[in-house]
Amino acid sequence: MPRLVMTLLAALAFTGGAYAQIDPVRRDLVEFGYDQTLEGHAPVGAYIFYYLSRPQFGDAEHALRLAVSPVYLDAEWASRDALGANTDLAIGVSGGGFASNYNEIRAGHWLRDQSFTGHDGGVDISAYHLFDPGARVPLYGILRGDFRYVAFERDSRNPPNFALPNNQPIATIRAGLRGGGIEPVLAPDVAGELSAWYETQVRFNAGTYGFDADRRVQRSVQRFWGRGLLVYTLPQSRHRIALSIVGGASVHPDRLSAWHIGGVLPLDSEFPLVLPGYYEGEFSARNFLLAGADYAVPLDRGNHWSLGVGAAVARIGFTPGLEAPHAWNSGIGASLGYAPEAKAWKASLVYGHAFDAIRSGHRGADSITLLMEFDLERMGYLRADAAQPRAAE
């Protein structure tokens, strides 16, 4: 397969992973995002996937969530109250190509000779317990076990003396508390969340890799993180305010388990770490604190066009060996959005400026990002089922 095609497929692999809790809304969405840096040379930042949610799949006691990209599938089937009152059980499968790719980026330089391809597949089982039935803001407890196999593949630019990590099975256990949440859509009108998470990951074939075994895959990694966010659209003026703060820490970190911070693609993971103007996933972090804010206003009486401005700042403790010159990194963004009257689709063009990015020996960089969402049901491609709940207009 030509190298360009391989690169595009790698970029378009959906890697978001399952969302904690059963999605209560029927959805048929196509999500697209593409990030283009204007300085430097970076991995392609992009995604395209079809997202399906059926809160009543077969009957009222079962639900299905499905996300499909050109080369990856992530699906979850859930049974309500399977483990007792207000405790749901879900079984998931996922797998495909390029989802475990690794890109080595140091101080703004993409080191293609030390980057490589990764494919994976696995199964998971989850329990979702609702603590406050009937409350306006739901509080969920989540427990998930995941087992997958990851296979790494050499890229054409890897030199012969660069060894890849071992192919290996990986077991993961995640536990969390989430109050509220945010819908898996582009720019929701209202959202609020406070959540805290713990995850432990065990690799069964850990070891060294790189040049002369100069880096290591740890056998066991523990991660802790939390997020708070608020999104609110004023009813009369339609001004939209979004605030978020997220932080994380790890024990025995390595390159493959690190957090990757940078870019403005909002749906490439369950916990996107957005920092405008930087490469997608430019910074590799063992611990971090990231805060951001956005404000958008309508430009016309029909609320079709909107203009937004935003900023984000991160304090990063870098993964050993991948340090950047500055622990504090910040960026600003401006967006132009459009949605037709029927809200069958929406689009946003985002400009980002990175104050602290290192490019060709100087500080500062820019990027352009295109984000689009298509609601297939509202566009008339699918027949609506009135028995199932739909998202609010």
Which of 15-24, 68-77, 119-128, 352-361 is the least confident region?
Answer: 15-24
249-258 b/e with 16+ CB inside 10 Å = b? bbeebbbbbb
In this prediction the pTM is 0.93
Q: Which residue has the higher pLDDT, 11 or 219?
A: 219
Tokens 């099975």 belong to 169
For residue 253, being part of any structural domain is answered with yes
Reply yes or no on whether the pLDDT at 72 is more than 90.
yes
CA distance readout (Å), 386 to 53, 54, 56, 370, 383: 14, 12, 11, 33, 9
pLDDT of residue 393: 47
Task: Name the residue type at position 141.
Answer: G
Q: How confident is the model at residue 14 (pLDDT cuts 50, 70, 90)?
A: low
How many domains is the chain partitioned into structurally?
Answer: 1
Q: Please state, in angstroms and rounded to a whole number, the distance separating the CA atoms of residues 158 and 144.
A: 36
52 in a structural domain: yes
pLDDT one-digit tens code per residue, 40-61: 999 999 999 999 999 999 999 9
**Banded pLDDT at 384 (limits 50, 70, 90):** low
Q: What is the helix (H) or strand (E) element at residue 64, kind and residue range?
A: strand 62-68
Tell me what pLDDT residue 256 has. 97
pLDDT for 385: 60
Tell whether the model's pLDDT for residue 293 goes beyond 60.
Answer: yes
Provide φ and ψ at 9, rounded to 5°: -65, -40
Q: Could you tell me if residue 383 is inside a domain?
A: no
Q: Residue 353 is encoded by which pair of tokens?
A: 């400026």
How far is it, in rounded angstroms, from Cα 147 to Cα 344?
37
Residue 286 belongs to some domain of the structure: yes
**Rounded Cα distance, 265 and 47, in Å:** 8
Asked whether residue 118 is assigned to any structural domain, the reply reads yes
Asked, for residue 389, whether it belongs to a domain, the answer is: no
Q: What is the dihedral of CA 58, 190, 192, 180, to 10 degrees?
A: -20
Q: What is the pLDDT of residues 149-189, one digit of tens each?
A: 999 999 999 999 999 999 999 999 999 999 999 999 999 99
Per-residue pLDDT reduced to its tens digit, 26-36 = 999 999 999 99
Instruction: Quote the pLDDT of residue 383.
Output: 64
- What is the residue type of 63? A
Q: What is the mean pLDDT of residues 275-303?
A: 97
40: phi then psi, degrees, rounded to nearest 5: 80, -175
Q: Using the predicted structure, report yes or no on whether residue 392 has a pLDDT greater than 70.
A: no
Would you state the structure tokens that stand for residue 63, as one six-digit string?
Answer: 């639900």
Give the pLDDT mean for 85-101.
Answer: 96
Tokens 């990063």, located at residue:
316
Determine the pLDDT at residue 316. 98
Residue 19 lies in a domain: yes
CATH number of the domain encompassing residue 163:
2.40.160.50
Cα–Cα distance, 106 to 366 (Å, whole number):
18
Q: Would you say residue 388 lies in a domain?
A: no
What does the alpha-carbon distance between residue 147 and residue 191 come to, in Å, rounded to a whole number?
31
Span 132-139, mean pLDDT? 93
Give residue 1's pLDDT: 46
Task: Kindly report, residue by residue over 215-233, the tens digit of the pLDDT.
Answer: 999 999 999 999 999 999 9
Domain carrying residue 355 = 3-375
Cα torsion through 193, 223, 37, 228, rounded to 10: 20
Give yes or no for residue 4 having a pLDDT over 60.
Answer: no
Higher pLDDT, 338 or 387: 338
Task: Give the contacts of 327 (CB within 8 A, at least 6 positions apart).
Answer: 315, 316, 317, 318
Q: Chain-wide mean pLDDT for the chain?
A: 93
Structure confidence at residue 387 (pLDDT): 53
Q: Which residue has the tokens 């009257």?
A: 341
> Predicted confidence band at 19 (pLDDT cuts at 50, 70, 90)?
low
How much is the pLDDT for 77? 98
